[in-house]
Structure formats: structure tokens, C-alpha cells
Amino acid sequence: MTEIATMTNDLDRLAERIEKAAALLQSQRAEHALLQAERDRLAERVRELERTLQGHDPAAMAAELQALRREQKDWQAERREVAARIEALVRKLERIEG
């Protein structure tokens, strides 16, 4: 009788382990599906970016970026110059009014 009880207990433990393994497998499959969907979305995004950049020479883009930075510095210098001129005019107006 004890042998049957031991076998039943062993079978119960085995069934429990199988259920846990099945649940884990199902969870892993769901996570795998999510990761595949994310991978596919990212791959499409890479393809879109490649199509956007296709035909653009990286060296030319770097040169254009440098030119834009120089232009930005020029605009900032001009802006500072205009601000200084406005301040000078305001001081002159204050002297005239004062």
C-alpha cells in the first residue's frame, strides 16, 4: 500500500512539474512573439531610414553639417551685433530724452 501511495505522490509531483513547465513554455512563447513583433517593427524602421538616406554621401552630409554650423555661428554673431547696436541706440535715446 505504501508503494502505491509513494507512486501516487510521485505522479502528483510529476504532474505539478509538468504543469509548471507548460505554463513557463506558454509564457516564453508569448514573450517570443512579442520580441519577434518588436524585431520586425525595428527592422522596418531601419529599412525606412535606409531608404531615406539612400543616395546621400556621408562625407557630403558631414560637410553640409559643418557649413550649417558655420552659418549658425555667423547668425549668432550677427544677432549679437544687432543687439549691441540696439542697446547703443537705446542709450542715445535715453540721453536725448533725459
pLDDT at 75: 96
Give pLDDT, residue 1. Answer: 64
State the Cα–Cα distance between residues 10 and 24, nearest whole angstrom.
21
In whole angstroms, what is the distance from residue 27 CA to residue 75 CA? 58
Cell representation of residue 62: 558631414
What is the rounded CA–CA span in Å between residue 89 and residue 35?
64
Report the C-alpha gap between 98 and 95 in whole angstroms. 5
Encode the chain (98 residues) as per-residue pLDDT tens digits.
678 878 888 888 989 999 999 999 999 999 999 999 999 999 999 999 888 888 788 888 899 999 999 999 999 999 999 999 999 999 988 888 87
pLDDT at 5: 78
pLDDT confidence of residue 8? 84
CA distance 33 to 26: 11
